[in-house]
Amino acid sequence: MAELRFDKMHGAGNDFVVLDLRAVERDIDAGTARHLADRRRGVGCDQLLIVRRPQAANSLARYEIRNADGSAAGQCGNGARCIALYLAMRGETPGDPFILESPAGPVETVRCADGEFEIDMGEPVFEPERIPLALEATGTRYRIDSPWGELAFDAASMGNPHALIQVEDIEQAPLETTGAWLGRNPVFPEGCNVGFTQIIDRQNIRLRVFERGAGETPACGSGACAAVAMLRRKNLVDDTVNVFLPGGHLVIKWRERDRVKMKGPAVHVFSGSLRWNDET
Ligand SMILES: N[C@H](CCC[C@H](N)C(=O)O)C(=O)O
Asked if residue 208 lies in contact with residue 216, where contact means CB atoms within 8 angstroms, the answer is: yes
Q: Which residues line ligand 1 at a C-beta cut-off of 6 Å? A: 14, 46-47, 67, 73, 75-79, 160, 193, 211-214, 217, 220-223
Q: Which CATH class is domain 128-258?
A: alpha beta
Name the residue among 280, 256, 273 with its Cα closest to residue 35: 280
pLDDT 10s digits, 26-83: 889 999 999 999 999 999 999 999 999 999 999 999 999 999 999 999 999 999 999 9
pLDDT greater than 90 at residue 25: no
The pLDDT of residue 257 is: 83
Same fold, 2-122+266-276 and 128-258: yes
The stretches of 171-215 forming alpha helices (DSSP H) are 180-183
Look at residue 150 and tell me whether its pLDDT is greater than 60: yes
Res. 280: pLDDT tops 60: no
Which range among 84-98, 188-202, 217-231 shows the weakest confidence by mean pLDDT? 84-98
Q: Is 204 annotated as ligand-binding? A: no
For a ligand 1 pocket test, name from 14, 18, 48, 76 the mutation site with the most ligand atoms within 8 angstroms of its C-beta: 76
Q: 1 C-alpha vs ligand 1 centroid, how far in Å?
A: 30
- pLDDT, position 274: 86
Query: Cβ(47)–Cβ(33) under 8 Å?
Result: no
Strands 161-166 and 193-201, sheet pairing:
parallel
| Domains in the chain: boundaries | 2-122+266-276, 128-258
Question: According to the annotation, is 171 in a ligand binding site?
Answer: no
CA neighbours closer than 13 Å in the CB half-sphere of residue 74: 18
The alpha carbon of 98 and the centre of ligand 1 are apart by a number of angstroms equal to 22
pTM score: 0.96
Whether 225 is catalytic is no
- Give the pLDDT score at 275: 82
Q: Which of 45, 192, 220, 225 is catalytic?
A: 220
Ligand 1 mean position, distance from CA 25 (Å): 24
- Indicate the angle between helix axes 77-89 and 221-233, nearest 10 degrees: 130
**Distances in whole angstroms, Cα of residue 91 to Cα of each of 85, 97, 196, 214, 246:** 10, 14, 38, 31, 31
CA of 15 to the centre of ligand 1 (A): 11
Q: Domain spanning 2-122+266-276 has what CATH number?
A: 3.10.310.10
Is pLDDT of 277 > 70? no
The DSSP annotation for 206-253 comes to: EEEEEETTTEEES--HHHHHHHHHHHHHTTSS-SEEEEEETTEEEEEE
Identify the active-site residue in 76, 82, 192, 225. Answer: 76
Going 164 to 169 to 174 to 176, the CA torsion angle's sign is: positive
228-262 pLDDT, tens digit per residue, is: 999 999 999 999 999 999 999 999 999 888 999 99
**Which atom number of ligand 1 is nearest to the Cα of residue 221?**
12
- Known binding residue 67? Answer is yes
| Separation of alpha carbons 20 and 215, rounded Å | 25
Query: Quick check: is 76 catalytic?
Result: yes
Label residues 85-122 b or e (16+ Cβ within 10 Å = b): bbbbeeeebeeeebbbbbebebbbbbbeeeebbbbbbb
- ipTM for the whole complex: 0.95
Q: Is 62 annotated as a binding residue?
A: no
Would you state the pLDDT for residue 279?
A: 60
Asked if pLDDT for residue 145 goes beyond 60, the answer is: yes
